[in-house]
């Protein structure tokens, strides 16, 4: 990227962040809170002390406390108290409360999408940055959790940060990226504090680094041992529930990484293997990322199969939902953009490159159409529905 374009990219990224923040706040303030958001506020946030949250967790299936600690800190900082009528009946529109309780997820998502745009604009071009933004915003689970006062927006954002830091490291010698590696260690610890299921992506990223870069042994304490220890600690203290399936495992994976995105990733990977013909392909960033993607996809697949055939029944408990596999969404987004760029660059002929651009644009339009189908009438109207999150 030409250094002269960097100020423009920074300005556009800042403008995008403010736009996303304003739009997210508008949506958040016009969505009536639903049961899970009420429960999190009264039971897990206001109903527990900081010490209890940090030492035992929050007493939910996802026992990790980061979201609830931050929510409680905001409530204490601004002396926030929910309306008195909520103690008797959880219903009704309260614009300020809906806005205030959803500040955290709106900020997380706005920062995440801005970082995605910045990364690909700096690495490739502004056009690719805009394409990355389009891929992200045609992900249906992004719309489900963008303005929901639950841990999922934070998990999505931290998962995306992990991937972007990982890509930065994988593009060069590890000794040149000590600061980025330190940031990745911090993100791993935050992931462990926001979701027990982060163990999958923490393991996958550490495995990829150990294969391709082999950082010094001391780094593994903060990359893996400490975060995995945090995950284990809160998992042990978490209540354990029974689960049941409504949608099958393939449908749950498809909700996170749709079939058209898998097609782009694996088609581009096949072209890469054919063009490289075994020479130097291990050094390519796309192959390194493909390894990470296959590891996280395989690990969640094994978890789904275990739940389907080893533990989950058809009766009581909780439904196995697509939101439990939310970290696959940013993995699929980045993989789609990364391999789309490679697919275009793989063809020396301008005609074939143009054909690849048309093909990818067609799939993006198709994904936009599917997103509209899953959110009736318009995205804004469905986001204002109080039962929106039940569509998960």
Q: Answer yes or no: is pLDDT of 127 > 90.
A: yes
The residue with greater pLDDT, 194 or 386, is 194
Q: Are 342 and 286 in contact (CB under 8 A)?
A: yes
pLDDT of residue 204: 95
CB atoms within 10 A of CB 41: 23
Residue 346 pLDDT class (50, 70, 90 cuts) = confident
The residue with greater pLDDT, 363 or 385, is 363
Residue 313 pLDDT class (50, 70, 90 cuts) = low
Q: Answer yes or no: is pLDDT of 43 > 90.
A: no
pLDDT of residue 135: 95
In sequence order, what are the residues at sequence separation of 6 or more whose Cβ sits closer than 8 angstroms to the Cβ of residue 380?
A: 27
pLDDT of residue 40: 84
pLDDT of residue 58: 86
CB atoms within 10 A of CB 235: 16
The residue with greater pLDDT, 3 or 50, is 50
The residue range of the domain holding 357 is 3-391
Say how far residue 361 (Cα) sits from the centre of its chain.
Answer: 23
Domain count, the chain: 1
CA distance 90 to 386: 12
Mean pLDDT for the stretch of residues 119-136:
94
The residue with greater pLDDT, 277 or 10, is 10
DSSP 286-309: HHHHHHHHHHHHHHHHHHHHHIII
- Report pTM: 0.90
Lowest mean pLDDT of 197-206, 273-282, 300-309, 333-342, name the range: 273-282
Q: Answer yes or no: is pLDDT of 228 > 70.
A: yes
CA distance 238 to 61: 6
Q: Are 31 and 143 in contact (CB under 8 A)?
A: no
CA distance 300 to 108: 24
pLDDT of residue 11: 95
Residue 233 pLDDT class (50, 70, 90 cuts) = very high
- Residue pLDDT, tens place only, 348-367: 888 888 888 898 888 888 88
Most confident of 49-58, 64-73, 350-359: 64-73
Lowest mean pLDDT of 141-145, 254-258, 277-281, 289-293, name the range: 277-281
Residue 298 pLDDT class (50, 70, 90 cuts) = very high
- Write out the H or E segment, with its range, that includes residue 266: helix 259-276
Q: Answer yes or no: is pLDDT of 383 > 80.
A: no
pLDDT of residue 245: 80
In this structure, what token pair is assigned to residue 277?
Answer: 């013909």
pLDDT of residue 392: 35
Q: Are 93 and 29 in contact (CB under 8 A)?
A: no
């Amino acid at each position: 990227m030409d250094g002269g374009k960097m100020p423009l990219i920074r300005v556009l990224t800042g403008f995008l962040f403010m736009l996303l923040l304003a739009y997210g706040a508008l949506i958040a303030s016009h969505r009536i809170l639903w049961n899970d958001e009420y429960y999190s506020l009264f039971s897990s946030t206001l109903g527990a002390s900081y010490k209890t949250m940090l030492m035992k967790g929050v007493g939910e299936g996802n026992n990790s406390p980061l979201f609830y600690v931050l929510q409680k800190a905001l409530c204490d900082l601004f002396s926030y108290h929910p309306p008195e009528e909520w103690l008797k009946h959880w219903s009704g529109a309260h614009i300020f409360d809906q806005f205030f309780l959803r500040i955290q997820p709106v900020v997380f998502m706005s920062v995440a999408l801005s970082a995605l745009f910045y990364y690909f604009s700096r690495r490739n071009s502004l056009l690719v940055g805009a394409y990355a933004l389009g891929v992200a915003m045609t992900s249906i689970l992004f719309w489900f959790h963008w303005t929901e006062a639950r841990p999922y927006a934070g998990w999505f954002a931290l998962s995306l940060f992990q991937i972007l830091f990982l890509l930065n490291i994988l593009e060069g010698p590890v000794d040149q990226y000590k600061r980025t590696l330190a940031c990745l260690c911090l993100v791993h610890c935050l992931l462990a504090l926001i979701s027990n299921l982060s163990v999958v992506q923490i393991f996958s990223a550490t495995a990829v680094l150990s294969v391709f870069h082999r950082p010094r042994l001391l780094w593994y304490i903060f990359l893996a041992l400490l975060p995995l220890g945090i995950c284990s600690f809160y998992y042990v203290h978490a209540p354990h529930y029974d689960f049941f399936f409504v949608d099958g495992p393939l449908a749950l994976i498809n909700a996170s990484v749709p079939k058209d995105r898998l097609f782009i990733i694996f088609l581009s990977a096949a072209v890469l293997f054919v063009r490289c013909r075994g020479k130097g392909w291990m050094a390519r960033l796309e192959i390194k990322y493909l390894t990470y993607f296959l590891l996280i996809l395989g690990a969640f697949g094994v978890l789904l199969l275990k739940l389907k055939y080893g533990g989950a029944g058809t009766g009581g408990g909780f439904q196995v939902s697509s939101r439990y596999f939310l970290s696959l969404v940013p993995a699929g987004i980045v993989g789609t953009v990364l391999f789309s760029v490679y697919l275009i660059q793989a063809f020396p002929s301008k005609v074939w490159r143009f054909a690849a651009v048309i093909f990818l644009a067609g799939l993006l339009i198709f994904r936009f159409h599917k997103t509209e189908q899953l959110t009736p009438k318009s995205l804004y109207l469905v986001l204002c529905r109080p039962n929106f999150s039940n569509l998960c």
